Every structure is written in structure tokens, then in C-alpha cells.
Copies of this chain bind each other. A is one copy, B any other.
Amino acid sequence: MAESDVTHAEVEGEDSLAFEDPEYREAVVDLLAVIGYGLISAFERLGEDATLAPHLEAKVQLGRMAAGELGKLGRIEARMAELGSDPFEAMEPFMAAVDAFHANTAPADWYEGLVKAYVGDGLANDFYREIAAYLDAGTRSLVIGTLEDAGYAAFAVAQVRGAIAADPRLGGRLALWGRRLMGEALIQAQRVAAEREGMSSLLAGGIDRPGLDLAALGRMFTRLTERHAERMAELGLDS
């Protein structure tokens, strides 16, 4: 309650300048729509992956990761409505890219599902955290708020490390899988950026917001790649 009040106050107050620019408003709606549909889609895929769980407790853990994604959606929806947009209509343009990502990275087994949940979630969160720096304060705090991890990452890491210790060949297969996830994420992110100019313009900045030049964009991708490698190492995998 308290948090959403703060967000609302900021929309009305100090951030109203940014939102006077209709392009900025549209770009923020686009961003929230991508994040929102990403959450819905992650909920669905994690729910499917849970059916692959080797035992009941593991199934519940993955189920809780799934439910957590949907739990973050409420505030995104509310903010989109505040900005005068129908949340689910606004998500439609992004469904194809997100769905294609998932269709092209359907896990073949429980461990591929875990690696995807951990690495995919981490990558998306890093990306949103980077973008958040270029947003008005209200939207930034909302976006950062969706990035909380309820501690299920530790579960994924323990499961994957344990399985690799028992069967080292699994590590080679999962390392390749991690590369495929990263590649497919980049392909779909580029597709979204190309189709929605507003999203790219967020990074370019505005009158009262700092922007990003090409060199800075390059450094951002370097950071994303480094953090991906760290996560793979955390799982005991080469990247």
C-alpha cells in the first residue's frame, strides 16, 4: 500500500514533466507492457516446467517461482492504467517476440528448465535494471520493485550443481543451453527494439533525462554479458 502511494504521488508530482512528453509516456507504457507480458509468460512456462520436477518439493519450489512472477504483475497493471492505457491491449504488440523466445527455448528436461528460469530471469532483470536508470523516479522504483527475487535462485543453483556433480557430462550440455538462451534473448530483444522506436528512444534520453550514446550502449551490453557469465559460473557452467 505505502509503496503504491509513493508511486502515485510521483506520477502526479515531480515526474509530471517527463510525462508531458507523449512519446515518453508511450515508451514507458511499452516498457511496462513488455515487462508485464514477460511476467505472464514466465508464469506459464515455469508452471509447465514444474510438471517436469523429479519430486513434489521441487515442483512446489518451481511453482512458487511461477506464482512470484504473476505476483509482480499487479503494480505494473495499475501503473499502466494510471497512464491511461489498457494493460492487456498494450501487451499485444510484444506477445510475438516473448512467445517466440519461449517457443525456441522449450526445456527438454528439468535441468534445462531450471537453468532457463535462473539465467533467463537474471538476464531480463539485469536489462530492466539498466533501463531503469533512464526513467523518471516513479517508473524506476516500480521497475526495480519487480526485480526482487524471493530466494528461489539459490534453489536452482543447488539443484543444478548437485546434478552436475553426479553426472559431469550434464555440465557440457547445460553450458551449450545457456549460450542458446543468451543468443535467443538477444535476437528477440533486437526485434522488439527495431519494431518499437519508442522503446529505443527511452535509452536516447530526453530534455530532463540523461541519455545513452553508442559507447555507453556498448558498455551496457558488456555488463550484461559479464553478469550472464557470473550466473553461469554460479551454476558451475562455462559460458
Contact = CB atoms under 8 A, between A and B. Distances in A.
Among A37, A51, A56, A88, the most chain B Cβ lie within 10 Å of the Cβ of: A56
Contact of A40 (B40, B44, B60): B60
Contact of A70 (B55, B57, B64): B64
A60 B44 contact: no
A145 interface: no
Interface of A: 37, 40, 43-44, 47-48, 50-51, 55-57, 59-60, 63-64, 66-67, 70-71, 73, 88, 91-92, 95
Contacts of A43: 47, 63, 67
12 contacts: A40-B56, A40-B63, A43-B47, A43-B63, A43-B67, A44-B47, A44-B50, A44-B51, A55-B88, A56-B91, A56-B92, A66-B67
A91 B67 CA distance: 21
Nearest to A46: B47
Contacts of A64: 70
Given A44-B51, A55-B88, A67 B60 contact: no
6 tightest A-B CB contacts, nearest first = A67-B67, A47-B47, A56-B88, A57-B88, A67-B70, A63-B70
A231 B56 CA distance: 32
Nearest to A92: B56
A44 B63 contact: yes
Given A47-B66, A66-B47, A59 B40 contact: yes
A64 B55 CA distance: 24
Contacts of A50: 44, 47
Nearest to A95: B56
Contacts of A67: 43, 66-67, 70-71
A8 to B, nearest CB: 22
A95 B56 CA distance: 10
A58 to B, nearest CB: 9
A91 B60 CA distance: 12
A191 to B, nearest CB: 20
A63 B70 CA distance: 7
Among A40, A47, A92, the most chain B Cβ lie within 10 Å of the Cβ of: A47
Nearest to A58: B88
